[in-house]
Amino acid sequence: MNPLPKNTPGMYRLIVTHYLISGICFAMLALLLLVLSGNFPSHYFAPGTLAITHLAALGWGTLIIFGACYQLLPVLLECDLYSNRLPWVVLSLFLPGLFCLVYSFWVFDPGIHMQAAGVLLTSSVILFCVIVFKTAAKSTIASAHKDFILTSCIWLAATAVLGTLMVFNFKYAFLPKDHLHFLRLHAHMGIAGWFLMLIIGVSAKLIPMFLVSRSQPSKLLSWSFYLINISLLLFMVDGYIHGLNLKTHLVVAMMLCGLTLYLLYIRKCFQSRLKKKLDIPITKTVLSIVFLSLSVLLLPLIVQLSVQQSAWAVKLSSLYGMLIFMGWITALIMGQTFKTLPFIIWVKKYEHLSGKARIPMPADLYHTWLLKVQYFAYISFCAFFFAGFLLSNNVLIIVGAVSIVIAAFSYLGNVIILLTHKTTIQL
Amino acid sequence: MKEFNITNQSSFKELQIIESLRTVLDPELQINVIDMGLIYHIDANPQSDSIKIQMTLSSSHCPMGEAILKSVQNRIETDFPGSEVHVELVWEPQWTYEKITEEGLKQLGR
């Protein structure tokens, strides 16, 4: 009989700490966006944009993924986590690295703080990869999810190493090509290699689990895995040698095919689901998939405009980045937090009472009205902010930024409500 | 699940146990463990006051697994005080969606 996974008190603290800090990073990110909204930079290679992007990618996206992975890896790989202590080392290297990096981007000081941040973050990421690979080594199952997760870690490590090299390149200028050239490769290793691979791997297991889906065509996932990875490798090699060119269309087409197969898999899960009613967290997950689709549909256009050296290429690239981080990843995290965190809290607070007394269910531990505020504020952000950016209208951008501040603080408030939940039932 | 046998005393107790377990819910789907098809076998011996329940989970390494097992144990111990309760987790036969009852499917919105 397989032993069932059980969170130790240390592991519980570790996981909820990740959720809390990433929620704080989301609030900080929203505030920075509001500060910038009066004069939003149109180019992605600007101090404010770099600070916000790294806060979004690392503090908001990656940190919560790390925390969720410590909880979900045992479920996905059907074995215990390799270590309960190493994740704390990962976090203690990651946090100073993150805040140093964001600050030094914001004030744009490519000196010792930025370099130290790069080294700290890369060390942290490599240790995280050690945890994942050592855990996977204990797992006896072979699945597409496992391939996606392991590959995502390789891409994450590569992203961090290249990012750190670029930080040192600001000072010592040793890289053979210009900075924007490497920035494109760094960004896509992070977006398609780390986030996309990891999210596909995890969502391909969790979405059918939450929806109670009868059909989970894993062949689609396997093809998706190969197409996305091959296209990404081709993009790295061809992009490094030639930059964006007409051949990049073929690479993008391959990536789109891979992504389409993943979307078909998700569609099949939805079609064959036994649970008909969709709750708000799942609706947000659907919304996140819409943003992912919209952003990748921009890719052929961006490639074409870049080849033609049109000024719109930069603007659309910025929009693409925002759709990825503030659309796809943000909607997904906001939705999935309230699918995972309430269960972690519930197990801690109510497992011993379960069956003995009438107790609340996980979904009763957070405020539904606050979840609705967060949902509608987020929709408002998407509508106003993206429209404002496209039309270069600062008023719309400011309204959008205010909306994301409301969404972020209602999200953080609900996370704090969950974390501070107290059991009132006595036996 | 055993068939009800009117001549067998333990059948009555097993029916009571089934009704008791209908109050134990899967925390995510909020369907009780009976309609989820998680309970494979109930053995209630009226002489020895022991209750044996053989059950499964929807997936191995389910993070809520321990909580569901504990709920079953706690519920039966509460409803049948003095009984010796053994809850055994088995993985064979493997749980599939086909094990959800018609009532369970209705609760899922089908």
- Identify the bridge partners of residue A250 per DSSP, sorted by sequence position: none
| Segment (H or E) for B53 | strand B50-55
Label residue A314 exposed, middle or buried (CB < 10 Å: 0-12, 13-18, 19+). middle
Give the C-alpha separation, A380 to A72, whole Å. 31
Q: What is the pLDDT of residues A192-212, one digit of tens each?
A: 999 999 999 988 888 888 888
| A237-256 residues touching B, CB cutoff 8 A | none
Of A1, A274, A355, the CB nearest to B110: A274
Are A212 and B59 a contacting pair at CB < 8 A?
no
| Mean pLDDT score, A65-77 | 89
| Segment (H or E) for B89 | strand B84-89
> What was the pLDDT predicted at A1?
43
Q: What is the DSSP letter of B42?
A: E
B47 pLDDT above the threshold of 80: no
The alpha helices in B1-110, defined as continuous H runs, are 9-21, 65-79, 102-107
Nearest CA in chain A to B58: A209
Distance from CA of B46 to the nearest CA of A (A): 23
B107 pLDDT above the threshold of 50: yes
Nearest CA in chain B to A205: B59
- A425 lies within 8 A of chain B by CB: no
Q: What is the pLDDT of residues A255-289, one digit of tens each?
A: 999 999 999 999 999 998 888 888 888 888 899 99
Nearest CA in chain A to B89: A1
Test mutation, B61, B78, B110, chain A, max A CBs within 10 A: B61
Distance from CA of A359 to the nearest CA of B (A): 11
User: Whose CA is closest to A338, among A425, A422, A417, A275?
Assistant: A417
Distance from CA of A7 to the nearest CA of B (A): 9
Give the C-alpha separation, B50 to B18, whole Å. 15
Distance from CA of A272 to the nearest CA of B (A): 11
pTM value?
A: 0.89
Interface ipTM: 0.77
Q: Find the range with the poorest average confidence among A20-24, A110-114, A115-119.
A: A110-114
Are B110 and A74 a contacting pair at CB < 8 A?
no
What are the boundaries of each domain within chain B? Answer: 9-97
Averaged confidence pLDDT in chain A: 91
A319 pLDDT above the threshold of 60: yes
Would you identify the CATH topology of the domain B9-97? Answer: GMP Synthetase; Chain A, domain 3 (3.30.300)
- A352 lies within 8 A of chain B by CB: yes
Q: What is the DSSP letter of A274?
A: S
| Segment (H or E) for A92 | helix A86-106
| Mean pLDDT score, A230-248 | 92
CA dihedral A159, A164, A165, A166 (to 10 degrees): 90
- A361 lies within 8 A of chain B by CB: yes
Q: Which is higher by pLDDT, A58 or B45? A: A58
